[in-house]
């Protein structure tokens, strides 16, 4: 996983009023935590932070934090707070990490394919969990974890224990935790299909009756013409 460089400046003021001033100026307040260091308050450029958190790695991006007048710190973003209306980041915590120490991360799950239970049996896929918790060295954290679902039939499911084994990655969730399952079609869907089928049969029957009536009428007219 590549590292992203992000500039930061020391923050001396705290509280909601200074934080609002910072956000109006296009800055985001943040706090850095980590083993062997005291918590540090910094500010980050909104646009640079947005770019750093919107790579393939998402929130697990390795951020090389360059603080003015100091040595760079390798960090990852955690505990992101957002505006409840606009969704803008209002504050975040950055955790200092080391390349040789495993960290915990939530990684997105990506199912691949279309189950047999869907295209052959009319079922549907229910995604129970879209992420999984793992432990790995910072550079070994995958951007996502893909798994095949083509062979699943109705009633089959994928559990954490079924996910692919990746070198250097340890799954932390319960191995029996279900992440995806294939369910039978809902009762109302079956009823709708049956009703549609019955309506089609009725329409065909009505068309047949109308055609027969038309033929009988035509024969009657022909007979009348012959008698005349």
Q: In the CATH hierarchy, which top-level class contains the domain 3-96? A: mainly beta
Predicted pLDDT at 21:
83
> Which three-class secondary structure string do you get for the chain?
CCEEEEEEEECCCCCHHHHHHHHHCCEEEEEEECCCCCCEEEEEEHHHHHHHCCCCCHHHCEEEEEECCCCCEEEEEEEEEECCCCCCEEEEEEEECCCCCCEEEEEEEEEECCCHHHHCCCCEEEECCCEEEEEECHHHCCCEEEEECCCCCCCCEEEHHHCCCCCCCEECCCCCCEEEEEECCCHHHHHHHHHHHHHHHHHHHHHHHHHHHHHHHHHHHHHHHHHC
CA distance 158 to 149: 8
Query: Residue-wise over 142-174: b if at least 16 C-beta within 10 A, else e?
Result: beebeeebeebebebebbbeebeeeeebebebe
**What pLDDT score was predicted for residue 58?**
87
pLDDT of residue 36 exceeding 80: no
- Higher local confidence (pLDDT), 69 or 210: 69
Mean pLDDT of the chain: 85
Q: 3-96 and 103-183 share one CATH topology?
A: no
For the chain, the straight-line distance linking the first and the last C-alpha, in angstroms and rounded, comes to 96
Q: Predicted confidence band at 13 (pLDDT cuts at 50, 70, 90)?
A: confident
Poorest-pLDDT segment among 23-32, 72-81, 146-155, 210-219 = 210-219
pLDDT, one tens digit per residue, over 178-214 is 999 999 987 655 555 555 665 656 556 555 555 555 5
Domain locations along the chain: 3-96, 103-183, 188-223
Distance CA 67, CA 78 (A): 18
How would you classify the pairing of strands 73-82 and 89-96? antiparallel
Q: pTM (2 decimals)?
A: 0.73
The yes-or-no verdict on residue 14 having pLDDT over 90 is: no
Is residue 59 predicted with pLDDT exceeding 90?
Answer: no
Q: For the chain, what's the residue count?
A: 228
pLDDT in tens, 110-168: 999 999 999 999 999 999 999 999 999 999 999 999 999 999 999 999 999 999 999 99
46 has a pLDDT exceeding 60: yes
CATH label, 103-183, candidates 2.170.120.20, 2.60.40.420, 3.90.1150.10, 2.60.40.3140:
2.170.120.20
pLDDT more than 70, % of the chain? 81
pLDDT band of residue 24 (cuts 50, 70, 90) is confident
Q: Where are the alpha helices (DSSP H) in the chain?
A: 16-24, 46-52, 116-119, 187-227
What is the reported pLDDT for 127?
96
For residues 62 and 74, is the Cβ–Cβ distance under 8 A? yes
Q: Is the dihedral of CA 173, 175, 176, 177 positive or negative?
A: positive
pLDDT at 26 over 90: no
């Amino acid at each position: 996983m590549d590292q992203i460089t992000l500039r930061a400046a020391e923050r001396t003021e705290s509280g909601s009023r200074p934080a609002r001033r910072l956000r109006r100026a296009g800055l985001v307040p943040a706090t850095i935590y980590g083993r062997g260091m005291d918590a540090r308050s910094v500010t980050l450029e909104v646009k640079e932070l947005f770019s750093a958190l919107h790579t393939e790695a998402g929130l697990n991006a390795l951020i090389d934090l360059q603080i003015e007048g100091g040595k760079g710190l390798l960090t990852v973003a955690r505990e992101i707070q957002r505006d409840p209306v606009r969704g803008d980041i209002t504050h975040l915590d950055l955790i200092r990490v080391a390349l040789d120490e495993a960290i915990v991360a939530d990684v997105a799950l990506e199912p691949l394919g279309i189950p047999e239970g869907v295209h052959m049996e009319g079922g549907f896929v229910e995604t129970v969990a879209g992420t999984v918790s793992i432990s790995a060295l910072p550079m070994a954290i995958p951007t996502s974890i893909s798994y095949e679902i083509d062979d699943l039939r109705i009633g089959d499911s994928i559990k954490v224990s079924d996910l692919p084994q990746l070198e250097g990655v340890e799954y932390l969730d319960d191995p029996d935790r279900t992440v995806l399952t294939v369910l039978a079609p809902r009762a109302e869907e079956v009823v709708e299909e049956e009703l549609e089928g019955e309506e089609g049969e009725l329409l065909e029957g009505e068309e047949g009756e109308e055609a027969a009536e038309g033929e009988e009428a035509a024969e009657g007219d022909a007979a009348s013409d012959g008698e005349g």
